[in-house]
Structure formats: C-alpha cells, structure tokens
Amino acid sequence: MKPSRKKETKHRRNIGAYLFTIAVFSVFLAILYIRRELVSTSFSSLFTATRLLFESPDKLYEIFTADIIEFWIGAIYLVSVPVVLLLLFVRS
C-alpha cells in the first residue's frame, strides 16, 4: 500500500523545520563563539550595573545610556535564542 501524499508532505515539512532549526541554532552558536569576549563583557557590564543600582544609583544614572541597553539586549538575545531553540527542538 502506497503512503498517502498528505503524510509524505507533513514528513517533508518536519524535516525542513528541523533543518531550519539546526541551521539557525548553528548560526547563533557561531556568532556567540566569534563574539564571546563582547558577550562576556556585556554580561559583566550588566551585573556591574545591577550592583551599582543598589549601591549607588546616582553613579549609575551618570553613566547610563541607551547604547548600554542595546549592548545588554543583544547579549541576552544571543544567549537566549539558542536555549529556546534547543528546548523547542527537544520537545518536538
């Protein structure tokens, strides 16, 4: 008995989704590896700013800029996307 075309298309879609997920995951890991010092510096800056917020908020407001927020968001994004992709990949 020949498998239905609908089942075959669904299987092909799943393979495409898996390959896409693996490709995106690999690209994010490559960027993380290439920019590891920058990401490390960003998290260090984030933790230092958090500590400074509790110890001396006035000093934090003096050095706080929108560029720093972009720096932190970029690092958090680079780390969180592979984690989320891995969790979704394992679940499916």
Residues 59, 52 contacting (CB under 8 angstroms): yes
Q: What is the pLDDT along the chain (92 residues), one digit of tens a residue?
A: 555 555 656 566 688 888 888 999 999 999 999 999 999 999 999 999 999 999 998 988 888 888 999 999 999 999 999 999 889 888 87
Q: What is the model's pLDDT at position 11?
A: 62
**Which pLDDT belongs to residue 62?**
87
CA angle 23, 5, 9 (to 5 degrees): 15
The span from the CA of 90 to the CA of 34, in Å, is 25
Residue bearing tokens 């993380």: 32
Residues 44, 50: Cα–Cα separation, whole Å: 10
pLDDT of residue 38: 95
CA 23 to chain CA centroid, nearest Å: 14
- CA neighbor of 23 nearest in space, from 36, 31, 75, 39: 31
